[in-house]
Structure 1
Amino acid sequence: MTQTDFAGGWQTIEMVVTVKAYPAISNKYGESVCVAGVRTDTQKNELVRLFPVGFRDLEPHMQFKKYQHVTLRAKKGTTDRRPESWQPDLGSLKLGSTIDTSRKWHDRWELVHDLAGEFTTCEIRERAAKVGQNSRSLALIKPADVSGVIVTTNPAFDRTIAAAAAMAAAPDLFQNEKDALRAAPYRLQYEYRCQDRACSGHSQSLIDWEVGAAGLKWRDGKSGSVADQLKRKFYDDMCGSDRDVHFFIGNQHQNPGSFMVIGVFWPPQHSKPSDTLF
């Protein structure tokens, strides 16, 4: 059950991490990561967002993985009014077990069963554009089809951002130092239609940490075209006909009507357990 410190607005929440966005640099938060997942200590599983998360500032043994159970204190932020957003107290973070795919994705399906396909992209985007930050800002949508992926180089990492990254990597008061953040060298954008009958198509960037990490790894390895490797991984493999692909989508704090793909759920076709199991 949820434990609440009513004086400070803090709650102890339990969740399973399903999304880690690539780190971003801002003047207000420094280097931070947007983390999203499924809250499991509520009457019904629900999507939740943690921000800001200084992930690379965590001790290595506390750097949680995708689909890992975590418990921590969090409270509603004062500037981010999106209903799923929580400000975390990372000092209270406790790690639990990780949900693997040893049972053919059944356990991960059980986690997201009630959330998958609950909304379409058209529906959630139109609602957010009208209502703003108070509208739903996270969803796990089922594409009707994914027609392709566009891979482009990332021009955003200019000297200003590079300098900010170096500053964020400078030693703190305890002389702890980390490597300067390296930009994701490529951008990946999905082209798809959602399940809305009137959908004319969506073109949304994928901001998952794995995209940036893969781009850096494959660029450094200099083994073939990085763009082709990214397409094979994030389109051919993850969106192939043998996969029941879903997209975690989320919007931007300052632009509620603008949504991105923040993570991919790509179980094999016909792996979803019968509803009688739930």
Structure 2
Amino acid sequence: MPKRPASQGWMRKANLIRLYPVPFRLITSDQQFAKWQWIEASIERSPADRRPESHKIGVDSICAGKVLPAGDWCERRVLLDRLKIYENFDALDKARTEHNVTLGLIKPARVTALRIQKSASQGWTSEEIDKLQSMQRQPSLFEEQEHASIKRLEKVPFDFHYVYECVTDGELRTHIHKIVDWEVSQLYRNVYRKHGAKGWELPFRQKLETHLPSKELMLLMGTIHRFPSQWLIVSLIYPPKRQKEDDHQIALF
């Protein structure tokens, strides 16, 4: 996440932005950063991307800073509470058509299913490698190194979709969106290595269908540059559920 001065105005409100390309596998170890970690970096609006949240990041300028510890959601919640969280997907999509919003958080009422289907291609195609290279390419990096790095990156042979419900105008509406969260892909790789081809799906489903929905699950949604009306689930954010006010009162006695 980009670091900003802790001014009074910023403390009241924050906005999501999209930073890319970040060739994570190619940057130096002292520049690599975690999902919940402050960084300092030079950024500028992306001239080739019409999405207003999209910015280019100067890879050589990345300076990794404070990590927000895993399991400690106090500081993370302070940051999340400064962001606009849309009450349902329809509200987010309305913001897209009316205000060109292409990145936003929603909080589903319920996850009803996880759909798993085989990807059209089980390995990287030449077109996909070219696309990944063009997204990651920086003047200071060597093309041969990029190509080798992408080939070493194991492609997940499945597509994952969440089926979920949101309350819109007092009614439950069902939505289906593809999950492209890097952590979900890494979860697949981990459970596949541990349980094999016949055993990976059960623990994978337990994590995404049971464990995460039991928390205060939020979906970070983003549109595709080439298809501005098409949304993807870019990331899953899952703080523990807040204690009810009664629980706080009981804790005082």
TM-score under structure 2 normalisation?
0.78
- CA drift at 1:179: 6.1
Q: Is 1:93 aligned with 2:93?
A: no
CA RMSD of aligned residues (A): 3.1
Q: Structure 2: 5+ residue runs without aligned partners?
A: 249-253
- CA drift at 1:188: 1.5
Q: Is 1:137 aligned with 2:102?
A: yes
Tell me which residue corresponds to 1:3.
Answer: none
Aligned-partner SS, 1:86:
strand
Q: Is 1:149 aligned with 2:118?
A: no
Q: Structure 1: 5+ residue runs without aligned partners?
A: 1-12, 16-38
Tell me which residue corresponds to 2:92.
Answer: 124
Tell me which residue corresponds to 2:251.
Answer: none
Identify, as 1 or 2, the structure richer in helix.
2
Identify, as 1 or 2, the structure richer in strand.
1
- CA drift at 1:142: 0.9
- CA drift at 1:126: 3.7
- CA drift at 1:159: 6.0
Q: Is 1:14 aligned with 2:3?
A: yes
Tell me which residue corresponds to 1:110.
Answer: 78
Tell me which residue corresponds to 2:177.
Answer: 204
| Alpha carbons 2:30, 2:64 under 8 Å: kept | no
Aligned-partner SS, 1:216:
helix
Cα distance change, pair 174–154 in 1 and its aligned pair in 2 (3 A): closer
| Alpha carbons 2:122, 2:155 under 8 Å: kept | yes
| Alpha carbons 1:252, 1:259 under 8 Å: kept | yes
Q: Is 1:193 aligned with 2:165?
A: yes
| Alpha carbons 1:186, 1:215 under 8 Å: kept | no
| Alpha carbons 2:41, 2:62 under 8 Å: kept | yes
- CA drift at 1:161: 3.9
Structure 1 moving runs of 4+ over 6 Å: 39-42, 173-176
Aligned-partner SS, 2:65:
strand
Cα distance change, pair 40–145 in 1 and its aligned pair in 2 (3 A): farther
TM-score under structure 1 normalisation?
0.72
Among the aligned pairs, what percent are the same residue? Answer: 22
| Alpha carbons 1:84, 1:138 under 8 Å: kept | yes
Tell me which residue corresponds to 2:202.
Answer: 228
Matches of 2:6 and 2:20, distance apart in 1:
18
- CA drift at 1:214: 2.0
Matches of 1:46 and 1:272, distance apart in 2:
27
- CA drift at 1:49: 0.5
- CA drift at 1:147: 0.9
- Count of residue pairs brought into register by the alignment: 231
